[in-house]
Chain A
Amino acid sequence: MIAGTNRTLVFKARNLSKSYRLGQVTIPALRGVDLDLYEHELVVLLGPSGSGKTTLLNILGGLDSADSGEVFYRDHDLVRASESDLTRFRREHVGFIFQFYNLIPSLTALENIRLVTEISPSPMRPETALDLVGMDQLGDRFPSQLSGGEQQRVSIARAISKRPDILLCDEPTGALDCETGRKVLEAILKVHRELGTLVVIITHNAAISGMADRVIRIENGRIGDVSSSIAKVPLSEIRW
């Protein structure tokens, strides 16, 4: 594990375990994970498919609960939080970016963002959020009228529009080609830099590690190698 620094701790997870039942089989997803995440970090959780990274991200974002262990967001205990506490936590602090965008198909790009800004305590203007991801011209389009990359950028705009403390990205480029994926990562990076948000990206794509402050490897539900980047690779040089 990374040693403590004087940066502010945002997430603290200890001995986190979680398993799923699939029919008659129990599949352990996390087996005693310890993890600390700090303010203003950009962390990449790297691991092959089925390694437990999405489960970890879901628990950090309050979308799922652990079977045992503990997770704290600052001083909030997420394991013992009630459903309404978790809802408030997600609403006020977390922005999600999903692999398949999860935009509401019946709402335009701008309306998808309004869906969030209407319930957030201190949101930015939806137009500003779209502008941040370079989509300000396409706000009145429905998801079905946008390309995959454009949809993902709308999804980023939706996630950041609440000015979240944490941006959790689940394979944000997983469904995209390299060039489009780069544009998406650029948007995430821009948000990270301009808003100072803690960004956690999970991916099985090692090429993305180059942009991270820290790369945490997950294998078989356990934290493996953790490495800190001293010199980050510019996005333009990242290829896959």
Chain B
Amino acid sequence: MRTLNLKVIRSLLGLKIQTTGIALLVACGSGLLISAWSSYDSLRSAKDKTYRTLRFGEIFAEVKSAPMALEPRLRNISGVNEVDLRLVEDGLLHLPGVPSGRFLSLPPTGTAGLDRIHLSSGDLPVPNPVPEAVVHQGFAGAHGLRPGDLLEANLGGKRWKFRISGIGLSPDTVYAIGPGAPLPDDLRFGVFWMPRTDLERMSGKGKTFRRLSVTVSEDTSIHRIREEIDRLLAPYGTAGSYLRKDQISDRLLENEIVEQRTLAILFPTVFLSIAALQTQSALARLIGLERLQIATLRALGYPHREIQLHYLKLVLLMVSGGSAMGVVLGSGVGRLMASSYRSFFRFPEVTFSTGRGAIALGIAASLLPALFAALSALRAVRSMTPAEALRPAPPPTFRIAGIERILTLSIRNRMIARNLLARPLRLIWNTLGMACAWILLIMSLSWTDILSNLIDERFRRLSRETLSMNLNSPARESESRAWSRLPGVLQWETQRILPVKMRFAHHSRDLILTGVPSGAELERYSLSPSVVPLEGLLLSRHFKEAWGIRVGDPVEFDPLTEGSGRFTLSVSGFVQDSLGLSARIPKHLLHGALGEESTFNRILLRIDPAFEEGILSKLQNSPSGSGILSKRATLAGFERTLGTLIRISTVILVSFAWVMTFSLLISSLRISTSERHREIATIRVLGLDFDQAFGLLLSETGIQWILAMPIGILSGNLITRAALNSMHAEEYDFTVVISRRTYGLALLVIGGSFLIGALRMRSISKRVALPDALKMEE
């Protein structure tokens, strides 16, 4: 069969454009799957590796203050492997914005114990007259800190100077989140680690601890161990022990990773399915064009099995070229995605490796539809006798098109209409294929729309303040007027915020309960006029969906930082929070629950931009304020982290979608041109010039693209919404919006690809001499 193999190679070379088109489709589909899945895999193994090497605890608990003498009793709990007790002290830093800092003690040997530190630069601190500390790398990055820098902080009622010895992070602070804060905020909150002796001296807390972390041996009852821990810590004020999965950094991280997994499944599935469908349709048409050659081979005495094998080889070579490109492309793009994770997820190390499973899946998903296409196309040829296959395919049954009864069409337009309507199945199939290009583009481009909408909604239309400041302790409401009198203040509002542990049934979660004054305008919670009014407790709708809370249900709140006791509030409604989770309540009701007078500990200011710098520096010098934040800085931070990650993903997706659209279009145009060479030639013989004749073919394809537009827009919209709505994580509950810009860009990409493809086909078609074209079989 050597000559038949030669034919495979020659056919492949002769079908350069079609082969390239199909190979690119396959490469994009499998490449996206391989890159997305491998980078997700790398992320997951980076997390596991970080947790393992830095010895992340398995059970945690916080207490108001407990003596270190408890350590032997905790260690003796059966099943407990290691116990790590840390002194924790919160304080304010003398840095722009007066951020708050959480200072944790380190075990005597900095490298021992649980939740160890990974240093990205500098050294671990050693006891010193000028204390040393390792600063969390997120905070160091946001404030431009380096080892050797001197900082000042208010700790234990005194102002202390300390030196940064190193920059790093620990497994419990991959995301560093302030008490009750919804999302990490590196500008406003940082974590510091110091030798215990230094922190004891600075905080004046002596041999006590506030945070416990333990690991347990396998096959022990976690439940029993937690009960023991809770019993031992109960006298010292604890909200109870919790597992690693409820640890705030882990939970946030896990949410992010799950979201990456959804992305790694969702987008490649849609892309790969479209690639598979298109490969199948292109191959079926290609084999259809080979009908006469297949019939000749049969007439020469080749059995069907060998012909089948011959075409399978051809298809396999076409597709496996694409698969190989997909593996290379997938690894390259995956590496790029993994490196963007590195800056977002802050793992000490994200080692990218192309997953074997992803490669196998990518290759199988591209090969199987191709083989199926080849076999089904060959089956169609087999069902004919060789004599039948040797004759040109009978023309379809042409009819007077319905449109001709309504409109008077020119002869050429009649030809176009009848040609399209004579093969309704082909028309539908081609139109659906073209609609796929819209789905790909809308799905990829909509990411930036979602991001812009999120920014616009969250940072412009809901939060309308310019600056905000938290107070170190609640102040009387009357004191707020002093702020309103500052020059340049256009509007001001106060809030009473309370970091709490919220509990419902077996669920619990740290968050901030915000007491909102009536008629609040600077920080709104919804843009919809139909939303429930703020007359009682309003929660993020995540709690309704994930915790099963209903209106009227009682929810328990345990204040985390203030001494007041536990209280219960009943839920009056739910709102959509695009970023982070919230609990809101009318301010007076919160005062009532806390049994206090009208106070505030957060102030929001909308100011004249010309006065922003002046007011900011006044706030920073105020002794009572902390966590001062300008919205511009928050927005910049958001853009820098999540924005960058989304933009990189969008660029990758859009590039894949663009290449796929182009290859889909060019291979479909190329095949149409081959199918119609003879007809175009005949029309030219009758006296039309080349462009008029080619125009007929192009008009038919063009009409299919126009028909595909509404179908593509509609299905692109539906699929994008369904896909993105399915990936809501706790912290992100964004609205899926698709802007006119997205539709416009998609139209531009499709129109541009069509134009390039048409010009290319025109030059190919024009090169065929008229007599040769006339002799070509259809």
Q: Report A's interface with B, CB cutoff 8 A.
A: 22-23, 54-55, 58, 61, 63-65, 83-84, 87-88, 90-92, 94, 96, 98, 100, 102, 104-107, 111, 114-116, 118-120, 144, 158, 162
Contact = CB atoms under 8 A, between A and B. Distances in A.
6 closest Cβ contacts across the A-B interface? A91-B301, A106-B10, A64-B387, A58-B387, A63-B387, A63-B386
Given A87-B304, A118-B2, A63 B10 contact: no
B6 A107 contact: yes
B293 interface: yes
Given A22-B394, A98-B390, A102-B390, A115 B10 contact: no
B16 to A, nearest CB: 12
A58 B298 CA distance: 12
A63 B384 CA distance: 10
A49 to B, nearest CB: 13
B304 A106 contact: no
Contacts of A84: 303
Contacts of B13: 106
Nearest to B12: A106
A90 B2 contact: no
A54 to B, nearest CB: 8
A54 B300 CA distance: 17
B296 to A, nearest CB: 4
A115 B304 contact: no
Given A114-B3, A115-B4, A106 B11 contact: yes
Contacts of B387: 54-55, 58, 63-64
B4 A64 contact: no
A137 B292 CA distance: 28
Given A63-B386, A102-B390, A104-B293, A88 B7 contact: no
A150 to B, nearest CB: 15
Contacts of A23: 397
Interface in B2-29: 2-4, 6-7, 10-11, 13-14
A70 to B, nearest CB: 17
B385 interface: yes
A115 B385 contact: no
Given A63-B385, A65-B385, A102 B2 contact: no
B611 interface: no
Interface in B369-386: 385-386
A96 B10 contact: no
Contact of A118 (B1, B14, B292, B394): B1
B309 interface: no
Contacts of B296: 98, 102, 104
Contacts of A106: 7, 10-11, 13-14
B300 A107 contact: no
Contacts of A111: 3, 6-7
Given A58-B386, A98-B390, 18 more contacts: A58-B385, A63-B299, A63-B385, A63-B387, A64-B385, A87-B298, A87-B302, A98-B296, A98-B299, A102-B292, A104-B7, A104-B297, A106-B11, A111-B3, A115-B300, A118-B2, A119-B301, A162-B301
A107 B3 contact: yes
Interface residues of B, number: 32
Main secondary structure of the interface of A (DSSP, over half): mixed
Contacts of A54: 387
Contact of A90 (B300, B388, B397): B300
A117 B653 CA distance: 52
B302 A119 contact: yes
A224 B471 CA distance: 114
Contact of B3 (A22, A65, A118): A118
Contacts of B292: 102
A218 to B, nearest CB: 16
A158 B302 CA distance: 14
Contact of B303 (A87, A98, A105, A158): A87
A161 B398 CA distance: 44
Contacts of A63: 298-299, 385-387, 390
Interface string B300-314: 111110000000000
Contacts of B295: 102
A83 B381 CA distance: 14
B309 to A, nearest CB: 13
B384 to A, nearest CB: 10
A60 B292 CA distance: 20
A144 B769 CA distance: 12
Contact of A87 (B293, B301, B388): B301
Given A64-B386, A102-B292, A118-B1, A91 B11 contact: no
Contacts of B7: 104, 106-107, 111, 115
A85 to B, nearest CB: 11
Contacts of B2: 114, 118
15 contacts: A58-B385, A63-B298, A64-B385, A87-B303, A98-B390, A102-B299, A104-B293, A105-B293, A106-B11, A107-B3, A116-B300, A118-B1, A118-B2, A118-B4, A119-B302
A38 B263 CA distance: 73
Contacts of A87: 298, 301-304
Contacts of B304: 83, 87
A116 B3 CA distance: 9
A144 B14 CA distance: 13
A64 B3 contact: no
B240 to A, nearest CB: 76
A107 B220 CA distance: 73
Contacts of A116: 300-301
Contacts of A102: 292, 295-296, 299, 390
A98 to B, nearest CB: 7
A148 to B, nearest CB: 9
Nearest to B772: A144
Contacts of B301: 87-88, 90-92, 94, 116, 119-120, 162
Which of A58, A91, A92, A115 has most chain B Cβ within 10 Å?
A: A115
A162 B302 CA distance: 13
Interface in B340-378: none
B388 A64 contact: yes
A84 B385 CA distance: 12
A131 B550 CA distance: 93
Contacts of A107: 3, 6-7, 10
Contacts of B4: 115, 118
Nearest to A142: B10
Contacts of B11: 106
A208 B388 CA distance: 27
Interface in B755-778: 772, 775, 777
Contacts of B1: 118-119
Nearest to B293: A104
Contacts of A22: 394
B10 A61 contact: no
Contacts of B390: 63, 98, 102
A124 to B, nearest CB: 15
A91 B301 CA distance: 4
Interface in B402-438: none
B299 A90 contact: yes
A216 B34 CA distance: 67
A135 B99 CA distance: 92
Interface in B726-778: 772, 775, 777
Interface string B509-542: 0000000000000000000000000000000000
Nearest to B2: A118
Contacts of A158: 300
A23 B297 CA distance: 28
A105 B295 CA distance: 14
Nearest to A117: B3
B316 to A, nearest CB: 17
A72 B295 CA distance: 23
A111 B292 CA distance: 18
A158 B777 CA distance: 21
Interface string B275-304: 000000000000000001101111111111
A41 to B, nearest CB: 22
